[in-house]
Structure formats: structure tokens, C-alpha cells
Amino acid sequence: MVMRQHLNQFLAELKSLRNGIKSDRAKTVNKIATRKKAEGLATSWLSTHSSQLLSAGQISTDMLDKYSDLFRQLLKITGPSNLSASYLKLLNAIIKSFREDIILVLHEQPPTSASLALLTTLFKGLPSDEDTYLKEATGCALKGFLRASVVLGWCAAISRIHAKIEEIGFATFNVTSAQMASQQKGRFKRFNKVFNLSSIGDLNEVFDNDTLWVLEGMQIIDSNQHTRLHSCFEMRCQSAHPGEAPITEFNLLSFFSDLKEIVFDNPKLSRTSKAPTTASTGP
């Protein structure tokens, strides 16, 4: 309720700014008061309103990004002697659908729990293929579809893992699997699969569980990280198959926290190439 009131007042101030520029009939905006007001409104959105709305989880990140881009443009032109037409173009674009896109959605959408809203802030600057998976995963979570969120989150993680293996080279993956399969004692003594991959398509046919084992054999992850990722993989499988094991908000946050720390923020799994690959979704 308080947020809606603040945004209604914010919209009224935007309209007042637009009306003031129109009534001046000047080619450029030179009044310090007008420029300061525009600067203040743009800063208010970028530093306060957008982050509050993001945390609330009721407005999509794409929609918030759309308005943040417009307010950044408005902020850029608040220096002296910029065209009134430039101000009016941006203000019209902001005001036109602000009520429908932002304020009315707050009326219609129930507030998202603070814990799930954290998901919107976890992943930044990822390659487009991974970002697409994670945006869909976050969207599912905010709508309450937690199992679907887990499946899509794992897709993003295995996409990163596959991309890194492709960068390193399938020959390394193949040789490592053979070395592991030959061990008669130690951690890998029960591993008995030897792979002969030559393409990302071949890698997509490898069970994700086996991929994690070879990833440890390649010393990209250690045994503890492997155990945690295996738990994430098991949650993915539980989410994709019938069963009574619940997926709670806390399960989901733990799942995505592990993916962030062990996969996406892991220097050994960083991508030097941004070319998208096809992620495995099979068990």
C-alpha cells in the first residue's frame, strides 16, 4: 500500500515536470529548478524505486530494466541547454504506460516473499543462454512454481559446465574418464565409464551425474563441491519426477546459492567464450 502511494505521487511529479516544460515553450531546458527536478526524479527511480520493486518481486526484471533505461537517458540530459523535445520524448515514454505497467500490477499481484525475491539479485552478467534459463527459473519461482524453477536452474548450471568442458577440449574429458576407470582403489575405484566424445552433442548424451564425476577427476571441482552439486542434481530429478518430497522456498534458496558459488562464480568454470551451447535436461 505504501509503495503504491509513493509511486502514484512519483507519477504525479513526472506529469508536473512534463507540464512545466511544455508551458515554458522554450527550445532548451535551462532553468536550474527544472533540471534539478528531472535529475531528482531520475535518481529516485534508479536508486530507490527500482530496487524496492525488484525486491518485492511483483514486477518483472525486463519491465524494470525498460524503465531504468529511460530514466538513465533522462538523467544524462539534465545538464544545461538540452532540448525540451528530448525531455518531452522521454517523459512521454515513461508516463504513457507507467500506471498500467507498474502501479496496477502492484494492485493485481500478491507480494512475493522476501526470500524468493532474493533470487532476482543473485545472478548478473551471465552469457545470454544461461541468463535466459535463470530468468525463466526466477519467473517460475516468483509465481510459486518451485519445481519448475529447480529444473530450469539446473539447465543453466549444466549449460555452463558443458561450455567449459567444450572450451577445455573433449580429449581432456575422454582421457580423464579413462584414467578414472583404470583406478583400482581410491575415490574413483567404482567409476567404470570411458567416454569418447567429439562434440557437444556427444556430451549432451552423458548423464549429468557422470559429468560431475569426470569434472572432479579433471580437478575443476573438489569432492565437497561435487557432493553439493550432486545434491542439487538430485533435487532437479526429484522436481522433474512424481513424488512427495516437497520443494520449499528454503530448499530453493539453498539450491541456487550452491549453483552460484560452485558453478557460476567458480573461476575454474568461468567462460572465455560466450557462444551458447545446448544444455542437457535429461537425468
Q: How far apart are CA 62 and CA 132, in angstroms?
A: 11
Instruction: Identify whether 281 is part of a domain.
Output: no
What are the pLDDT digits (tens) for 7-24? 999 999 999 999 999 999
In this prediction, residues 96-117 reach a mean pLDDT of 80
Domain count along the chain: 2
Q: Are residues 105 and 192 in the same domain?
A: no
Q: How many Å apart are CA 107 and CA 121, to the nearest integer?
A: 23
Same domain, 145 and 264: yes
Asked whether residue 280 is assigned to any structural domain, the reply reads no
Identify the residue with better confidence: 268 or 131.
Answer: 268
pLDDT bucket at 228, cuts 50 / 70 / 90: very high
Task: Look up the pTM and report it.
Answer: 0.62
Residues 87 and 53 in one domain: yes
Q: What angle do CA 67, 33, 12 make, to 5 degrees?
A: 45
Report yes or no on 224 lying in a domain. yes
From 61, 87, 111, the end of a domain falls on 111
Percent of the chain with pLDDT over 90: 70
Note whether 122 and 106 are same-domain residues: no
Co-location of 33 and 73 in the same domain:
yes
* One domain for residues 107 and 124: no
Q: Is residue 131 part of a domain?
A: yes
* Residue 29: its H or E element: strand 28-29
Q: What is the CA radius of gyration of the chain?
A: 25
Contact status, residue 249 vs residue 116, Cβ threshold 8 Å: yes
Among 78, 111, 144, the domain boundary falls at: 111
Whether residue 125 sits in one domain with residue 94: no
Considering the domain architecture, whether residues 264 and 140 belong to the same structural domain is answered as yes
209 and 147, same domain (yes or no): yes
Note down the domain range covering 212: 116-269
Q: Which pLDDT score, from 0 to 100, does residue 117 have?
A: 66
Q: Which residue among 80, 111, 142 closes a domain? A: 111
Mean pLDDT of the chain: 90
C-beta of residue 154 within 8 angstroms of C-beta of residue 283: no
HEC string of 161-229 equals HHHHHHHHCHHHHHHHHHHHHCCCCCCCCCCCCCCCCCCHHHHHCCCHHHHHHHHHHCCCCCHHHHHHH
pLDDT (0 to 100) of residue 274: 54
Residue 282's pLDDT is 42
Residue 28: phi and psi, rounded to 5, are: -125, 160
**Is residue 277 a part of any domain in this protein?**
no
